[in-house]
């Protein structure tokens, strides 16, 4: 029996795989992969044990990572319905797929639902975690796995939809925010690399200030501003274009789509 199995070695699945290997959470010989494309077999087949049939993976691993898109879940569930998962753990990273839905098909399993984000690619993931049994060894093991690619925070499952915009989808929102400033800087004549570094380093340092300051975010904003100054001029335009309302709508749409996927 393998200690860890991975169904889906896309960007997130492969990031988790690399993290657990580099940190020593599992050894290569303790891991079983589900590989079916020639490209996947060429990339991972020489270094890892693998099977092409998901059923064999389910039967042969103790803790199983479901790293496939939500749209593929119905097909996977049909396979899971044939098996008993008592004593096994399921780690799912599919957006909108609830613990209850997984429980119906992976009968007897300890379910850990996780929402990581793409900074996992550079071991800077920020993940949320919930489970149907927070006392299980699998729940604790998932936190150990996630620590190999970043940080993780426990949340109640009822908050998974609402928190999605804060970590799972946040990279895209921040990347669009950064791109807009970078594009404007380039249009003004600043070279792209300099604009990118100035923008991204400022985002990083400002986030660090929020995390480490005892002052409220409102006060931190005021600290940057001076009456009639440049920052106020820019903020006035953001308020004029309902920037905060747009962020609210963005987060609400993200949450609602997650709820729709759960149906």
Q: Mind listing the pLDDT tens digit for each residue in 127-136?
A: 999 999 999 9
Q: What mean pLDDT do residues 106-113 have?
A: 97
Q: What mean pLDDT do residues 94-121 have?
A: 95
Residue 263 above 80 pLDDT?
no
Total residue count of the chain as it appears in this document: 263
Which strands make up the sheet holding 31-34, listed edge to edge? 49-51, 31-34, 2-7, 61-66, 89-92, 110-115, 125-131, 150-154
Residue 262 above 90 pLDDT?
no
What's the confidence (pLDDT) of residue 96?
A: 84
89 has which bridge partners? 63, 110
The predicted model scores a pTM of 0.91
Q: Which fold has domain 170-262?
A: ProC C-terminal domain-like fold (1.10.3730)
CATH class of 2-157: alpha beta
Mean pLDDT of the chain, nearest integer: 96
What's the confidence (pLDDT) of residue 58?
A: 98
Q: What mean pLDDT do residues 94-115 have?
A: 94
Nearest 10 degrees: Cα torsion 80, 84, 89, 94: 20
pLDDT digits (tens, 9 = 90+) for 195-245: 999 999 999 999 999 999 999 999 999 999 999 999 999 999 999 999 999
Residue 87: pLDDT band (50, 70, 90) is very high
pLDDT digits (tens, 9 = 90+) for 41-79: 999 999 999 999 999 999 999 999 999 987 788 899 999
What's the confidence (pLDDT) of residue 131?
A: 97
Coil vs helix vs strand at 112: strand
What's the confidence (pLDDT) of residue 163?
A: 96
Domain definitions of the chain by residue range: 2-157, 170-262
d(CA 85, CA 107): 5
Residue 186 above 90 pLDDT?
yes
What's the confidence (pLDDT) of residue 95?
A: 85
% of the chain residues with pLDDT over 70: 100
């Amino acid at each position: 029996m393998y200690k860890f199995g991975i169904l889906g070695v896309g960007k997130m699945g492969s990031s988790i795989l690399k993290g657990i290997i580099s940190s020593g959470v599992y050894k290569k010989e303790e891991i079983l992969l589900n590989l079916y494309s020639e490209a996947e077999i060429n990339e991972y087949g020489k270094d890892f044990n693998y099977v092409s049939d998901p059923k064999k993976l389910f039967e042969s691993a103790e803790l199983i990572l479901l790293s496939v898109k939500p749209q593929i879940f119905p097909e996977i569930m049909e396979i899971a319905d044939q098996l008993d998962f008592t004593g096994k753990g399921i780690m799912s990273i599919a957006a909108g797929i609830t613990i209850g839905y997984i429980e119906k098909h992976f009968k007897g399993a300890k379910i850990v639902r996780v929402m990581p984000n793409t900074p996992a690619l550079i071991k800077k993931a920020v993940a949320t975690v919930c489970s149907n049994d927070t006392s299980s060894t699998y729940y604790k093991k998932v936190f150990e796995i996630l620590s190999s690619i970043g940080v993780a925070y426990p949340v109640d499952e009822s908050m998974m939809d609402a928190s999605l915009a804060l970590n799972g989808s946040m990279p895209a929102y921040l990347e669009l925010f950064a791109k807009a400033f970078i594009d404007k800087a380039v249009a003004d004549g600043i070279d792209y690399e300099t604009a990118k570094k100035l923008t991204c380093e400022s985002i990083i340092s400002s986030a660090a200030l929020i995390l480490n300051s005892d002052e409220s975010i409102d006060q931190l904003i005021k600290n940057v501003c001076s009456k009639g100054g440049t920052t106020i001029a820019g903020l006035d335009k953001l308020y004029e274009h309902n920037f905060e309302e747009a962020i609210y709508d963005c987060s609400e749409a993200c949450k609602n789509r997650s709820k729709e996927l759960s149906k």
